[in-house]
Amino acid sequence: MADRFHFSKRKVTIAIFVIATTGLIIFCFNLHLQSSAFHRPGNEKKKQGFTDSHRFPVPIDEPSCSPPVDRVVLLKNHKAAGGTLAAIIGRYGYRKDLDFALGKSGPFYETTRLIPFSRKTVLHFKNFDQYGYQMLTSQARYNRTELDYVVPNAKYISIIRNPVNHLESVFGFFRMGKKFKLTEFENPLEEFMKKPDFYLNQSALEYNLPSKLLNNGQLFNFGMEPEDMLNSHKVKRKLAEMDSEIDLILIAEYFDESMILMKRFFCWKLSDILYLHENVRNRSEKARYEISPSLEEKILSWNAKDVIMYNHFNKTFWNKVKEYGPSFEKDLAEFRRIQKVDCKTMENTFKVQNLCEYLQFRNTRLLREIKFEMTRRSGPPDGFLGW
Ligand SMILES: *[C@@H]1O[C@H](CO)[C@@H](O)[C@H](O)[C@H]1NC(C)=O
Ligand SMILES: *[C@@H]1O[C@H](CO)[C@@H](O)[C@H](O)[C@H]1NC(C)=O
Ligand SMILES: *[C@@H]1O[C@H](CO)[C@@H](O)[C@H](O)[C@H]1NC(C)=O
Ligand SMILES: *[C@@H]1O[C@H](CO)[C@@H](O)[C@H](O)[C@H]1NC(C)=O
Protein backbone atom coordinates (compact mmCIF):
# COMPACT_ATOMS: atom_id res chain seq x y z
CA MET A 1 0.00 0.00 0.00
CA ALA A 2 2.64 2.48 1.15
CA ASP A 3 4.76 1.57 -1.84
CA ARG A 4 1.96 2.19 -4.28
CA PHE A 5 1.16 5.48 -2.61
CA HIS A 6 4.77 6.44 -2.82
CA PHE A 7 4.89 5.54 -6.49
CA SER A 8 1.84 7.61 -7.43
CA LYS A 9 3.15 10.58 -5.47
CA ARG A 10 6.32 10.43 -7.56
CA LYS A 11 4.19 10.18 -10.67
CA VAL A 12 2.27 13.27 -9.67
CA THR A 13 5.47 15.16 -9.00
CA ILE A 14 6.83 14.22 -12.40
CA ALA A 15 3.57 15.16 -14.06
CA ILE A 16 3.58 18.56 -12.37
CA PHE A 17 7.17 19.09 -13.38
CA VAL A 18 6.41 18.19 -17.01
CA ILE A 19 3.36 20.46 -17.14
CA ALA A 20 5.20 23.36 -15.56
CA THR A 21 8.18 23.00 -17.91
CA THR A 22 5.98 22.77 -20.98
CA GLY A 23 4.05 25.81 -19.84
CA LEU A 24 7.25 27.75 -19.31
CA ILE A 25 8.55 26.78 -22.75
CA ILE A 26 5.29 27.83 -24.42
CA PHE A 27 5.29 31.06 -22.47
CA CYS A 28 8.87 31.89 -23.48
CA PHE A 29 8.16 30.96 -27.08
CA ASN A 30 5.18 33.29 -27.13
CA LEU A 31 7.26 36.07 -25.65
CA HIS A 32 9.82 35.47 -28.33
CA LEU A 33 7.17 35.59 -31.06
CA GLN A 34 5.74 38.79 -29.69
CA SER A 35 9.07 40.49 -29.27
CA SER A 36 10.17 39.53 -32.75
CA ALA A 37 7.00 41.11 -34.08
CA PHE A 38 7.70 44.24 -32.09
CA HIS A 39 11.23 44.48 -33.33
CA ARG A 40 10.75 44.04 -37.02
CA PRO A 41 12.89 46.75 -38.59
CA GLY A 42 10.81 49.70 -39.69
CA ASN A 43 7.83 48.46 -37.78
CA GLU A 44 8.71 49.60 -34.28
CA LYS A 45 6.74 52.80 -34.42
CA LYS A 46 3.58 51.05 -35.37
CA LYS A 47 3.88 48.30 -32.84
CA GLN A 48 4.95 50.18 -29.79
CA GLY A 49 1.65 51.79 -29.02
CA PHE A 50 -1.63 50.27 -29.84
CA THR A 51 -1.62 46.72 -31.08
CA ASP A 52 -2.36 45.09 -27.81
CA SER A 53 -5.16 46.36 -25.72
CA HIS A 54 -3.28 47.25 -22.57
CA ARG A 55 -1.06 49.64 -24.46
CA PHE A 56 -3.84 51.32 -26.35
CA PRO A 57 -5.40 54.58 -25.16
CA VAL A 58 -7.09 53.95 -21.88
CA PRO A 59 -10.73 54.40 -22.78
CA ILE A 60 -12.43 57.10 -20.83
CA ASP A 61 -15.69 55.25 -21.21
CA GLU A 62 -16.74 51.66 -21.45
CA PRO A 63 -19.37 50.45 -23.86
CA SER A 64 -22.73 49.89 -22.26
CA CYS A 65 -23.11 46.64 -24.13
CA SER A 66 -21.15 43.66 -25.34
CA PRO A 67 -19.70 41.97 -27.24
CA PRO A 68 -18.26 44.56 -29.61
CA VAL A 69 -19.04 44.05 -33.29
CA ASP A 70 -15.96 42.59 -34.97
CA ARG A 71 -17.39 41.80 -38.38
CA VAL A 72 -18.13 44.83 -40.50
CA VAL A 73 -18.74 45.61 -44.15
CA LEU A 74 -18.47 49.29 -44.91
CA LEU A 75 -20.23 50.19 -48.15
CA LYS A 76 -18.08 53.12 -49.03
CA ASN A 77 -19.37 55.80 -51.33
CA HIS A 78 -16.85 58.01 -53.07
CA LYS A 79 -16.60 61.53 -51.72
CA ALA A 80 -19.04 61.01 -48.88
CA ALA A 81 -16.73 60.94 -45.85
CA GLY A 82 -16.22 57.26 -46.62
CA GLY A 83 -12.46 57.61 -46.28
CA THR A 84 -12.71 59.08 -42.81
CA LEU A 85 -15.10 56.33 -41.76
CA ALA A 86 -12.96 53.64 -43.41
CA ALA A 87 -9.97 54.88 -41.42
CA ILE A 88 -11.92 54.72 -38.15
CA ILE A 89 -13.12 51.19 -38.83
CA GLY A 90 -9.72 50.26 -40.25
CA ARG A 91 -7.88 51.43 -37.14
CA TYR A 92 -10.22 49.35 -35.01
CA GLY A 93 -9.69 46.22 -37.09
CA TYR A 94 -5.99 46.76 -37.37
CA ARG A 95 -5.60 47.11 -33.64
CA LYS A 96 -7.54 43.92 -33.07
CA ASP A 97 -5.68 41.98 -35.77
CA LEU A 98 -8.83 41.34 -37.78
CA ASP A 99 -8.60 39.94 -41.29
CA PHE A 100 -9.66 42.29 -44.07
CA ALA A 101 -10.94 41.62 -47.56
CA LEU A 102 -8.47 43.39 -49.82
CA GLY A 103 -8.45 43.88 -53.56
CA LYS A 104 -5.29 43.37 -55.49
CA SER A 105 -3.74 46.79 -55.74
CA GLY A 106 -3.96 50.52 -55.62
CA PRO A 107 -3.73 52.66 -52.53
CA PHE A 108 -7.16 51.48 -51.35
CA TYR A 109 -6.88 47.84 -52.37
CA GLU A 110 -10.08 48.35 -54.23
CA THR A 111 -12.09 45.43 -55.43
CA THR A 112 -14.55 46.73 -57.95
CA ARG A 113 -15.69 50.19 -58.83
CA LEU A 114 -17.67 49.91 -62.03
CA ILE A 115 -18.97 46.36 -61.86
CA PRO A 116 -20.66 44.86 -58.79
CA PHE A 117 -18.46 43.30 -56.15
CA SER A 118 -17.21 39.80 -56.79
CA ARG A 119 -15.20 37.45 -54.59
CA LYS A 120 -12.87 36.90 -57.54
CA THR A 121 -11.35 40.33 -57.01
CA VAL A 122 -10.43 39.64 -53.37
CA LEU A 123 -7.00 38.37 -52.35
CA HIS A 124 -6.89 34.91 -50.81
CA PHE A 125 -4.99 34.58 -47.54
CA LYS A 126 -4.92 31.21 -45.77
CA ASN A 127 -6.85 32.59 -42.80
CA PHE A 128 -9.88 33.10 -45.03
CA ASP A 129 -10.54 29.35 -45.10
CA GLN A 130 -11.27 29.22 -41.38
CA TYR A 131 -14.06 31.74 -41.00
CA GLY A 132 -13.99 34.16 -43.92
CA TYR A 133 -12.75 37.68 -43.56
CA GLN A 134 -13.92 39.97 -40.80
CA MET A 135 -13.87 43.39 -42.40
CA LEU A 136 -14.22 45.12 -45.71
CA THR A 137 -13.61 48.84 -46.01
CA SER A 138 -12.35 49.02 -49.58
CA GLN A 139 -14.48 50.34 -52.37
CA ALA A 140 -17.01 47.76 -53.51
CA ARG A 141 -20.26 48.03 -55.45
CA TYR A 142 -23.02 46.27 -53.58
CA ASN A 143 -23.73 42.62 -54.30
CA ARG A 144 -24.96 41.00 -51.12
CA THR A 145 -24.44 37.39 -52.12
CA GLU A 146 -20.83 38.02 -52.93
CA LEU A 147 -20.15 40.23 -49.93
CA ASP A 148 -21.72 37.70 -47.55
CA TYR A 149 -19.47 35.01 -48.92
CA VAL A 150 -16.35 37.09 -48.33
CA VAL A 151 -17.34 38.58 -44.96
CA PRO A 152 -19.87 36.21 -43.37
CA ASN A 153 -22.19 37.37 -40.58
CA ALA A 154 -21.11 40.97 -40.85
CA LYS A 155 -22.93 44.11 -39.84
CA TYR A 156 -23.41 46.37 -42.85
CA ILE A 157 -22.83 50.06 -42.56
CA SER A 158 -22.69 52.93 -45.02
CA ILE A 159 -22.57 56.69 -45.17
CA ILE A 160 -24.28 58.94 -47.69
CA ARG A 161 -24.03 62.61 -48.49
CA ASN A 162 -26.33 65.36 -49.61
CA PRO A 163 -26.43 64.92 -53.43
CA VAL A 164 -25.60 68.57 -54.11
CA ASN A 165 -22.46 68.48 -51.97
CA HIS A 166 -21.68 65.06 -53.37
CA LEU A 167 -21.80 66.15 -57.00
CA GLU A 168 -19.72 69.23 -56.30
CA SER A 169 -17.16 67.14 -54.51
CA VAL A 170 -16.93 64.44 -57.19
CA PHE A 171 -16.70 67.09 -59.91
CA GLY A 172 -13.88 68.87 -58.12
CA PHE A 173 -11.99 65.89 -56.79
CA PHE A 174 -11.82 64.06 -60.10
CA ARG A 175 -11.15 67.35 -61.96
CA MET A 176 -14.11 66.86 -64.22
CA GLY A 177 -13.95 70.46 -65.44
CA LYS A 178 -10.70 69.65 -67.15
CA LYS A 179 -11.93 66.31 -68.47
CA PHE A 180 -14.98 67.96 -70.03
CA LYS A 181 -12.79 70.82 -71.32
CA LEU A 182 -14.74 73.41 -69.39
CA THR A 183 -11.88 75.14 -67.65
CA GLU A 184 -12.27 78.39 -69.56
CA PHE A 185 -15.68 78.89 -67.98
CA GLU A 186 -15.84 80.79 -64.74
CA ASN A 187 -17.88 78.02 -63.16
CA PRO A 188 -17.28 74.73 -64.99
CA LEU A 189 -19.81 72.91 -62.83
CA GLU A 190 -22.53 75.38 -63.76
CA GLU A 191 -21.65 74.96 -67.40
CA PHE A 192 -21.69 71.19 -67.10
CA MET A 193 -25.11 71.25 -65.48
CA LYS A 194 -26.56 73.16 -68.43
CA LYS A 195 -26.43 69.94 -70.49
CA PRO A 196 -24.97 67.13 -68.39
CA ASP A 197 -26.27 64.35 -70.65
CA PHE A 198 -24.48 65.87 -73.59
CA TYR A 199 -21.17 66.03 -71.75
CA LEU A 200 -21.55 62.54 -70.32
CA ASN A 201 -22.39 61.14 -73.73
CA GLN A 202 -18.87 61.77 -74.96
CA SER A 203 -17.76 58.24 -75.64
CA ALA A 204 -14.33 58.56 -74.09
CA LEU A 205 -15.85 59.25 -70.70
CA GLU A 206 -18.83 56.98 -70.81
CA TYR A 207 -17.28 54.08 -68.93
CA ASN A 208 -15.20 56.19 -66.68
CA LEU A 209 -15.90 55.92 -62.99
CA PRO A 210 -16.35 59.62 -62.17
CA SER A 211 -18.90 59.87 -64.95
CA LYS A 212 -20.98 57.19 -63.22
CA LEU A 213 -20.60 59.01 -59.95
CA LEU A 214 -21.93 62.29 -61.30
CA ASN A 215 -25.41 61.00 -62.07
CA ASN A 216 -27.06 59.45 -59.00
CA GLY A 217 -23.65 58.10 -58.17
CA GLN A 218 -24.53 56.99 -54.66
CA LEU A 219 -27.32 54.68 -55.78
CA PHE A 220 -24.90 53.43 -58.40
CA ASN A 221 -22.52 52.43 -55.61
CA PHE A 222 -25.36 50.63 -53.85
CA GLY A 223 -25.60 48.46 -56.94
CA MET A 224 -28.26 50.12 -59.08
CA GLU A 225 -27.70 50.33 -62.81
CA PRO A 226 -28.35 53.75 -64.37
CA GLU A 227 -31.11 52.39 -66.62
CA ASP A 228 -32.95 50.95 -63.59
CA MET A 229 -32.95 54.34 -61.94
CA LEU A 230 -35.36 55.57 -64.61
CA ASN A 231 -37.95 53.23 -63.12
CA SER A 232 -39.29 54.67 -59.88
CA HIS A 233 -40.66 51.28 -58.76
CA LYS A 234 -37.19 49.85 -58.97
CA VAL A 235 -35.83 52.78 -57.00
CA LYS A 236 -38.47 52.19 -54.33
CA ARG A 237 -37.61 48.52 -54.22
CA LYS A 238 -33.94 49.39 -53.88
CA LEU A 239 -34.65 51.63 -50.89
CA ALA A 240 -36.69 48.88 -49.24
CA GLU A 241 -33.85 46.45 -49.87
CA MET A 242 -31.34 48.85 -48.34
CA ASP A 243 -33.65 49.37 -45.37
CA SER A 244 -33.73 45.69 -44.63
CA GLU A 245 -30.18 44.71 -45.59
CA ILE A 246 -27.98 47.57 -44.45
CA ASP A 247 -27.92 47.81 -40.69
CA LEU A 248 -26.91 51.43 -40.36
CA ILE A 249 -26.82 54.23 -42.92
CA LEU A 250 -25.03 57.32 -41.69
CA ILE A 251 -25.07 60.87 -42.99
CA ALA A 252 -21.90 62.75 -43.89
CA GLU A 253 -23.44 66.12 -43.03
CA TYR A 254 -23.96 64.82 -39.49
CA PHE A 255 -20.68 63.01 -39.11
CA ASP A 256 -20.23 63.34 -35.36
CA GLU A 257 -23.83 62.35 -34.73
CA SER A 258 -23.20 59.41 -37.03
CA MET A 259 -20.21 58.32 -34.97
CA ILE A 260 -22.30 58.36 -31.79
CA LEU A 261 -24.90 56.10 -33.41
CA MET A 262 -22.22 53.82 -34.79
CA LYS A 263 -20.42 53.55 -31.47
CA ARG A 264 -23.60 52.39 -29.75
CA PHE A 265 -24.54 50.08 -32.59
CA PHE A 266 -21.12 48.41 -32.60
CA CYS A 267 -20.71 48.41 -28.81
CA TRP A 268 -17.45 50.26 -29.29
CA LYS A 269 -15.68 52.68 -27.00
CA LEU A 270 -15.30 56.40 -27.38
CA SER A 271 -11.63 55.92 -28.15
CA ASP A 272 -12.60 53.69 -31.09
CA ILE A 273 -14.35 56.51 -32.94
CA LEU A 274 -11.81 59.31 -32.63
CA TYR A 275 -10.75 60.64 -36.02
CA LEU A 276 -8.91 63.21 -38.05
CA HIS A 277 -10.46 64.25 -41.32
CA GLU A 278 -9.40 62.06 -44.23
CA ASN A 279 -8.93 63.03 -47.84
CA VAL A 280 -10.24 66.53 -47.37
CA ARG A 281 -9.69 68.57 -50.50
CA ASN A 282 -6.95 71.12 -50.42
CA ARG A 283 -8.90 74.22 -51.28
CA SER A 284 -6.16 76.08 -53.06
CA GLU A 285 -5.23 73.02 -55.05
CA LYS A 286 -8.52 71.62 -56.22
CA ALA A 287 -11.54 73.51 -57.33
CA ARG A 288 -14.56 74.41 -55.28
CA TYR A 289 -17.61 75.65 -57.07
CA GLU A 290 -20.11 78.29 -56.21
CA ILE A 291 -23.57 76.73 -55.99
CA SER A 292 -26.28 79.27 -56.75
CA PRO A 293 -29.89 78.42 -55.90
CA SER A 294 -30.67 77.79 -59.56
CA LEU A 295 -27.66 75.49 -59.94
CA GLU A 296 -28.74 73.65 -56.82
CA GLU A 297 -32.20 73.17 -58.32
CA LYS A 298 -30.67 71.69 -61.45
CA ILE A 299 -28.52 69.29 -59.49
CA LEU A 300 -31.41 68.22 -57.29
CA SER A 301 -33.54 67.43 -60.30
CA TRP A 302 -30.78 65.74 -62.32
CA ASN A 303 -29.84 63.59 -59.33
CA ALA A 304 -33.41 63.17 -58.16
CA LYS A 305 -33.01 59.47 -57.34
CA ASP A 306 -30.11 60.12 -55.02
CA VAL A 307 -32.17 62.91 -53.47
CA ILE A 308 -35.03 60.49 -52.78
CA MET A 309 -32.58 58.10 -51.22
CA TYR A 310 -30.88 60.78 -49.18
CA ASN A 311 -34.13 62.15 -47.80
CA HIS A 312 -35.33 58.67 -46.94
CA PHE A 313 -32.22 57.78 -44.97
CA ASN A 314 -31.96 61.19 -43.40
CA LYS A 315 -35.36 60.37 -41.86
CA THR A 316 -34.36 56.93 -40.66
CA PHE A 317 -31.14 58.44 -39.31
CA TRP A 318 -32.96 60.93 -37.09
CA ASN A 319 -35.39 58.25 -36.00
CA LYS A 320 -32.41 56.27 -34.77
CA VAL A 321 -31.16 59.33 -32.91
CA LYS A 322 -34.57 59.53 -31.23
CA GLU A 323 -34.42 55.84 -30.32
CA TYR A 324 -30.98 56.39 -28.83
CA GLY A 325 -32.64 58.33 -26.07
CA PRO A 326 -31.99 61.49 -24.11
CA SER A 327 -28.30 60.82 -23.51
CA PHE A 328 -27.58 61.41 -27.19
CA GLU A 329 -26.88 65.13 -26.81
CA LYS A 330 -24.68 64.58 -23.81
CA ASP A 331 -22.68 61.82 -25.54
CA LEU A 332 -22.33 63.97 -28.65
CA ALA A 333 -21.11 66.95 -26.64
CA GLU A 334 -18.56 64.81 -24.85
CA PHE A 335 -17.30 63.37 -28.12
CA ARG A 336 -16.98 66.86 -29.64
CA ARG A 337 -15.20 68.16 -26.60
CA ILE A 338 -12.58 65.46 -26.98
CA GLN A 339 -12.42 65.78 -30.77
CA LYS A 340 -11.70 69.50 -30.50
CA VAL A 341 -8.60 68.93 -28.47
CA ASP A 342 -5.45 68.74 -30.53
CA CYS A 343 -4.25 65.16 -30.48
CA LYS A 344 -0.94 66.39 -29.08
CA THR A 345 -2.68 67.49 -25.93
CA MET A 346 -5.08 64.59 -25.94
CA GLU A 347 -2.38 62.47 -24.36
CA ASN A 348 -3.43 63.70 -20.98
CA THR A 349 -6.94 62.40 -21.36
CA PHE A 350 -5.94 59.13 -22.89
CA LYS A 351 -2.74 58.52 -20.99
CA VAL A 352 -0.70 57.47 -24.01
CA GLN A 353 2.35 58.79 -25.73
CA ASN A 354 1.41 58.35 -29.32
CA LEU A 355 -2.26 58.98 -29.88
CA CYS A 356 -1.39 61.57 -32.51
CA GLU A 357 0.57 59.11 -34.53
CA TYR A 358 -2.16 56.56 -34.19
CA LEU A 359 -4.88 58.92 -35.37
CA GLN A 360 -2.76 59.99 -38.29
CA PHE A 361 -2.90 56.46 -39.64
CA ARG A 362 -5.08 57.12 -42.62
CA ASN A 363 -6.86 54.72 -44.85
CA THR A 364 -4.12 54.11 -47.40
CA ARG A 365 -1.39 53.55 -44.83
CA LEU A 366 -3.70 51.43 -42.70
CA LEU A 367 -4.58 49.10 -45.53
CA ARG A 368 -0.93 48.69 -46.37
CA GLU A 369 -0.13 47.84 -42.77
CA ILE A 370 -3.12 45.53 -42.51
CA LYS A 371 -1.95 43.65 -45.59
CA PHE A 372 1.49 43.38 -44.05
CA GLU A 373 0.10 42.02 -40.79
CA MET A 374 -2.17 39.55 -42.58
CA THR A 375 0.84 38.29 -44.51
CA ARG A 376 2.73 37.88 -41.25
CA ARG A 377 -0.17 35.95 -39.71
CA SER A 378 -1.09 33.67 -42.57
CA GLY A 379 1.54 33.93 -45.28
CA PRO A 380 1.41 35.93 -48.49
CA PRO A 381 -1.79 35.85 -50.55
CA ASP A 382 -1.79 33.01 -53.06
CA GLY A 383 -4.29 34.33 -55.58
CA PHE A 384 -7.92 35.32 -55.39
CA LEU A 385 -11.04 33.86 -53.84
CA GLY A 386 -13.01 31.71 -56.20
CA TRP A 387 -15.77 29.19 -56.35
C1 LIG B 1 -24.26 39.02 -57.57
O2 LIG B 1 -23.57 37.82 -57.37
C3 LIG B 1 -24.27 36.64 -57.74
C4 LIG B 1 -23.39 35.44 -57.50
O5 LIG B 1 -23.03 35.32 -56.18
C6 LIG B 1 -24.63 36.69 -59.20
O7 LIG B 1 -25.42 35.55 -59.51
C8 LIG B 1 -25.41 37.97 -59.50
O9 LIG B 1 -25.62 38.06 -60.87
C10 LIG B 1 -24.63 39.18 -59.02
N11 LIG B 1 -25.43 40.36 -59.23
C12 LIG B 1 -25.00 41.39 -59.95
C13 LIG B 1 -25.94 42.52 -60.07
O14 LIG B 1 -23.92 41.38 -60.48
C1 LIG C 1 -25.44 60.20 -77.28
O2 LIG C 1 -24.70 59.88 -78.44
C3 LIG C 1 -25.37 59.06 -79.37
C4 LIG C 1 -24.48 58.74 -80.55
O5 LIG C 1 -23.14 59.00 -80.26
C6 LIG C 1 -26.65 59.74 -79.84
O7 LIG C 1 -27.38 58.89 -80.69
C8 LIG C 1 -27.51 60.12 -78.61
O9 LIG C 1 -28.64 60.86 -79.02
C10 LIG C 1 -26.72 60.95 -77.64
N11 LIG C 1 -27.52 61.19 -76.44
C12 LIG C 1 -27.55 62.39 -75.83
C13 LIG C 1 -28.39 62.48 -74.60
O14 LIG C 1 -26.96 63.35 -76.25
C1 LIG D 1 -2.48 73.04 -50.50
O2 LIG D 1 -1.77 72.96 -51.72
C3 LIG D 1 -0.87 74.02 -51.92
C4 LIG D 1 -0.28 73.88 -53.31
O5 LIG D 1 0.01 72.56 -53.65
C6 LIG D 1 0.20 73.99 -50.81
O7 LIG D 1 1.09 75.06 -50.97
C8 LIG D 1 -0.50 74.11 -49.47
O9 LIG D 1 0.46 73.97 -48.43
C10 LIG D 1 -1.55 73.01 -49.31
N11 LIG D 1 -2.30 73.24 -48.08
C12 LIG D 1 -2.60 72.27 -47.24
C13 LIG D 1 -3.41 72.64 -46.06
O14 LIG D 1 -2.25 71.11 -47.43
C1 LIG E 1 -32.52 65.80 -42.26
O2 LIG E 1 -33.55 65.62 -41.33
C3 LIG E 1 -33.56 66.58 -40.29
C4 LIG E 1 -34.57 66.14 -39.26
O5 LIG E 1 -35.80 65.87 -39.84
C6 LIG E 1 -33.85 67.95 -40.87
O7 LIG E 1 -33.85 68.93 -39.84
C8 LIG E 1 -32.76 68.29 -41.88
O9 LIG E 1 -33.07 69.49 -42.53
C10 LIG E 1 -32.61 67.18 -42.91
N11 LIG E 1 -31.40 67.45 -43.64
C12 LIG E 1 -31.37 67.54 -44.94
C13 LIG E 1 -30.04 67.94 -45.52
O14 LIG E 1 -32.35 67.33 -45.64
Alpha-carbon distances, residue 290 vs 186, 212, 277 (angstroms)? 10, 22, 23
pLDDT number for residue 36? 32
Q: What is the pTM of this model?
A: 0.81
Pocket lining: 186 vs ligand 2, CB cutoff 6 Å: no
Task: State which of 56-70, 189-203, 308-322 shows the largest mean pLDDT.
Answer: 308-322
Q: What was the pLDDT predicted at 280?
A: 53
The predicted-structure confidence for 251-295, as pLDDT tens digits, reads as follows 999 999 999 999 999 999 888 898 876 545 554 445 578 899 999
Of all protein residues, the one whose alpha carbon is nearest to atom 2 of ligand 3 is: 285
* Mean pLDDT for the stretch of residues 187-207: 83
**346 C-alpha vs ligand 3 centroid, how far in Å?**
26
pLDDT at 149: 96
Nearest CA to ligand 2 atom 8: 201
pLDDT of residue 189 exceeding 50, the answer is yes
Task: Kindly report which listed range (23-27, 186-190, 208-212, 239-243) carries the lowest average pLDDT score.
Answer: 23-27
How far does residue 156's CA lie from ligand 1's centre (Å)? 18
CA atoms within 13 A on the CB side of 120: 4
Evaluate: CB of 318 within 6 angstroms of ligand 4: yes
Q: Given pLDDT bands bounded at 50, 70 and 90, which one contains residue 366?
A: confident
**Which ligand sits closest to the CA of 318?**
4
> Counting atoms of ligand 2 from 1, which one is nearest the CA of 201?
1
pLDDT at 271: 80
- 3-state SS string over the chain? CHHHHHHHHHHHHHHHHHHHHHHHHHHHHHHHHHHHHHCCCCCHHHHHHCCCHHHCCCCCCCCCCCCCCCCEEEECCCCCCHHHHHHHHHHHHHHCCCCECCCCECCCCECCCCCECCHHHCECCCCHHHHCCCEECCCCECCHHHHHHHCCCCEEEEEECCHHHHHHHHHHHCCHHHHCCCCCCCCHHHHHHHCHHHHHCCHHHHCCHHHHHHCCHHHHHCCCCHHHHHCHHHHHHHHHHHHHHCCEEEEHHHHHHHHHHHHHHHCCCHHHCCCCCCCCCCCCCCCCCCCCHHHHHHHHHHCHHHHHHHHHHHHHHHHHHHHHCCHHHHHHHHHHHHHHCCHHHHHHHHCCCCHHHHHCCCHHHHHHHHHHHHHHHHCCCCCECCC
Indicate whether residue 206 lines ligand 2 (CB < 6 A). Answer: no
Query: From edge to edge, which strands make up the β-sheet containing 135-136?
Result: 135-136, 72-75, 155-160, 248-251
pLDDT of 48 reads 37
Please name the amino acid found at residue 368: R
Residues flanking ligand 3, CB < 6 Å: 282, 284-285
Q: Which of 189-203, 236-250, 272-286 has the lowest mean pLDDT?
A: 272-286
Atom 14 (ligand 2) nearest CA? 198
Q: How far is the CA of 198 from the centre of ligand 2 (A)?
A: 7
CA 248 to each of CA 171, 187, 251: distance values in angstroms, whole numbers, following the listed order: 27, 36, 10
Ligand 2 close to Cβ of residue 195 (< 6 A) = no
Bridge-based pairing state of the strands 248-251 and 135-136: unpaired
CB 173 within 8 A of CB 79: yes
Among 45-49, 76-80, 114-118, 240-244, the range with the most confident prediction by mean pLDDT is 240-244
Shortest CA distance to 71 belongs to which of 9, 148, 4, 18? 148
> Does residue 114 register a pLDDT over 80?
no
Residue 203 alpha carbon, nearest atom of ligand 2: 5
Nearest protein Cα to ligand 2, atom 4: 201
Average pLDDT over residues 303-313: 98
**In this model, does residue 3 exceed pLDDT 80?**
no
Ligand 3, residue 283: give the atom nearest the CA. Answer: 1
Rounded to an integer, the average pLDDT of 185-203 is 89
pLDDT confidence of residue 51: 41
